[in-house]
Amino acid sequence: MNEWYMATLVGRDRPGIVAAVTQALYEAGCHLGETSMVRLGGNFTIMLMARCAQGGLLETLEPVADRLGLRLHLDRIEGRLHDHRIPDVRVSVHGADRAGIVAQVTGRLAEAGLDILDLDSDVAGSEAQPIYLMHIEGLATQGIEALEAALADLDAGITVHLSPIETMIG
Amino acid sequence: MVELDILTYPDERLKQISEPVERFDDELREFVAALEAKMRAGPGGVGIAAPQVGRFQRIVIVDVSGHRKVRQSHGRLVLINPEITEWEGLEVGREGCMSVPDYTGNVVRAERIALRACDEHGQSHEYRFEGYEARAVQHEIDHLDGLLFLDRLVSRRSDLFRRKVYR
């Protein structure tokens, strides 16, 4: 027990993937930690923290991954629960899709002290006119003003909104 | 002063509906003082409700004046038998709770509210709150009805309500 693994499962999306994977883990006596599961480009992607009382995670997950056509990857990790950090800034980005938006925006933000805790991005619009959208939550380790300054002369066509996250603890 | 303990989820008592206060006496005021001390002892705590310490009466305390980003507020507020009389606007904001350690999430609340409540001497007052202070008051009043912010979470991925834009 107590050894956390990160399991990555990726494959063509179909109904029932989460139920089948988590049922197999449950029946093998494994515990789940934090997970992220999302459909990306018609694939279903799972990253999950798991630990097992006994037996191997690989032996447990391999049959279900094979049955569902999922690629499986396992890593032993140095990880623990109850280690959440509270973001203090949210960054929303959108613009006509082109290569380099994420690299340009996150490069500047990183230099200005942004520690990204959560990021999701998407391509929407049409095939002829795709648009790129990105949402980031993170920690502004040098303050939000530093992030604002870093984005001041961003290329035209990329819209960025910065907003502070004021967490209310009641 | 008695040291109060915070009930934490999944304690079933947090789902209990609290009763109105009927007697505004010294015992009540002593409890309010102890409840306020508990709120101020927590890191960053800007509000507390009586059921969070196992007293199921309609008493909440809010004080957002110490929060760095709050420009205007009513300061220390003891809200007994509070009743929200008006709601306006909706806004997503992030909340955490002393009764739910190690988790924060997005919750939709009214941007502005009007409220009637008694103080610890039984005097009735009317208030108007907005923004962060309105959020704190709504969060605490939820405790009186057995609700946690966990009951009102919205997905972080689907942003249904636009946040205030910083620039």
**B7: in domain:** no
- CATH number listed for the domain at residues A5-76: 3.30.70.260
**B161: in domain:** no
Residue B157 confidence (pLDDT)? 65
Residue A2 confidence (pLDDT)? 64
Cα A8 to Cα A21, A63, A70, A154, B20: the distances in Å are: 11, 15, 9, 35, 52
Residue B1 pLDDT level (bands cut at 50, 70, 90) = confident
CATH topology of domain A89-164: Alpha-Beta Plaits (3.30.70)
From-to residues of CATH 3.30.70.260 in chain A: 5-76, 89-164
**B3: in domain:** no
**B166: in domain:** no
- Interface touch B94/A86, C-beta < 8 Å: yes
Q: Chain A to chain B, count of Cβ pairs less than 8 Å apart?
A: 74
**B66: in domain:** yes
Cβ count within 10 A of residue B86 = 10
Q: How many domains does chain B have?
A: 1
Residue B69 confidence (pLDDT)? 74
- Interface touch A168/B165, C-beta < 8 Å: no
Residue pair A109/A119 in contact (Cβ under 8 Å)? The answer is: no
**What's the rounded Cα separation, in Å, for the pair B47 and A126?**
47
Give me the CATH number covering residue B33: 3.90.45.10
Which residues of chain B does A84 touch, with a Cβ-Cβ cutoff of 8 Å?
102-104
Residue B159 confidence (pLDDT)? 54
Per-residue burial over A107-134, b if 16 or more Cβ lie within 10 Å, else e, is ebbeebbbeeeeeeeeeeeeeeeeebbb
Q: How many residues does chain A have?
A: 170
In this structure, what are the phi and psi dihedrals at residue B60, rounded to the nearest 5 degrees?
Answer: -135, 155
Residue ranges making up the domain that contains B55: 12-154
**B30: in domain:** yes
Which residues of chain A does B48 touch, with a Cβ-Cβ cutoff of 8 Å?
170
- Interface touch B45/A170, C-beta < 8 Å: yes
Q: How far is A63 from chain B (nearest CA, A)?
A: 31
Mean confidence (pLDDT) of chain B = 92
pLDDT single digits (tens) B97-117: 999 999 999 999 999 999 999
Catalytic residues of B: 140
Written as one string, the DSSP assignment of chain B is: -PPP----TT-GGGGSPPBPP---SHHHHHHHHHHHHHHHHSTTB-EEEGGGGT--BSEEEE--TTSTT--S---SEEEEEEEEEEEEEEEEEEEEETTEEEEEEEEEEEEEEEEEEE-TTS-EEEEEEEHHHHHHHHHHHHHHTT--GGGGEE-SSS--SPPPP--
Residues 6+ apart with CB under 8 A from B28: B21, B59, B120
pLDDT single digits (tens) B10-52: 999 999 999 999 999 999 999 999 999 999 998 888 999 999 9
pLDDT < 50: residue spans in chain A: none
Residue B94 CB-density burial (10 A; 0-12 exposed, 13-18 middle, 19+ buried): buried
Q: How far is B35 from chain A (nearest CA, A)?
A: 13
**B106: in domain:** yes
Query: Which residue, among B108, B143, B152, B111, has the nearest Cα to B128 in the 3D structure?
Result: B111
